[in-house]
Amino acid sequence: MKIIKVKDYKELSETAARLILEKVRANPQLVLGLATGGTPEGMYEQLVTDHRTAGTSYQQITTFNLDEYAGLPREDRNSYYTYMRQQLFDHIDIPEENVHLPNGETEDLQAECRHYEQLIKEAGDVDLQILGIGGNGHIGFNEPGTSFDSVTHVVTLDESTREANARYFSSLDEVPTHAVTMGIQTIMRAKEIVLLVSGESKADAIVRLLTEEANESFPASALLTHPNVTLIVDEEALKKVD
């Protein structure tokens, strides 16, 4: 795993955006795997500014998001579809048909999982996957204990994950209990992975990532066995590392 240590969140966002832009310019047909949450917001802001000022085009880019809540309408203000439109898609020139998120609203979530996995395979798998990490080591919504062989599946969210995400909802009760997520195997098939980690709340997760061997009780540790992972991490998140 290559490690890029940066000073703070601003530098993390700029570094991640620069890396994506290099790849998008080198391969205008890139298949990009995207994450939601607080961590990539600054990176998306940089990409939007670049599109406005330098005109980098996403006309032929395909995106696949890691996950989506189950049971929320796509238009709900807390769906990851809405997040992605607001953070990125509404501000760049990517065609609607090129963006993919799991449909968490469907009656048959199992069929949706199979369909999503198939779409990713048909696209030739993700070229560059952006990831964040949960305090408990989750990647996507793959909570501790998830098999490293897992493909896109329905998950029951950990209470700690629902509590961490409750900041976006009016109350904890409103946070969905289930989600659809790419599996660990799906993520690991990406040709390149960039993991973004910022802030003190991730300091324990960083210690685990840098000291443990790959094990299913800490999902992000799967990345230790991937040949092309870059961790971009700021000083706050590195606080507990000697």
Interface residue list for ligand F6R (CB under 6 A):
35-39, 66-67, 132-134, 138-140
> In whole angstroms, how close is the CB of 212 to ligand F6R at the nearest point?
18
Using alpha carbons only, give the angle 97, 98, 100 rounded to the nearest 5 degrees. Answer: 90
Name the amino acid, one letter, at 17. Answer: A
How far apart CA 132 and CA 15 sit, in angstroms, is 15
Closer CB to ligand F6R, 132 or 183, in the complex = 132
Parallel, antiparallel or unpaired: strands 153-156 and 178-181? antiparallel
What would the DSSP string read from start to end of 184-214?
Answer: HHHHHTSSEEEEEE-SGGGHHHHHHHHHSPS
Measured from each CB, the residue nearest to ligand F6R is: 132
Which residues are registered as beta bridge partners of 113? none
Closer CB to ligand F6R, 66 or 88, in the complex = 66
Closer CB to ligand F6R, 51 or 138, in the complex = 138
Q: Is 79 helix (H, G, I), strand (E, B) or coil?
A: coil
How far apart CA 192 and CA 174 sit, in angstroms, is 35
> In whole angstroms, how close is the CB of 207 to ligand F6R at the nearest point?
16
3-state secondary structure 122-151: HCCCCCEEEECCCCCCCECCECCCCCCCCC
> In whole angstroms, how close is the CB of 121 to ligand F6R at the nearest point?
20
> In whole angstroms, how close is the CB of 133 to ligand F6R at the nearest point?
6
Closer CB to ligand F6R, 52 or 199, in the complex = 199
Residues recognised as catalytic:
67, 136, 138, 143
How far apart CA 105 and CA 80 sit, in angstroms, is 12
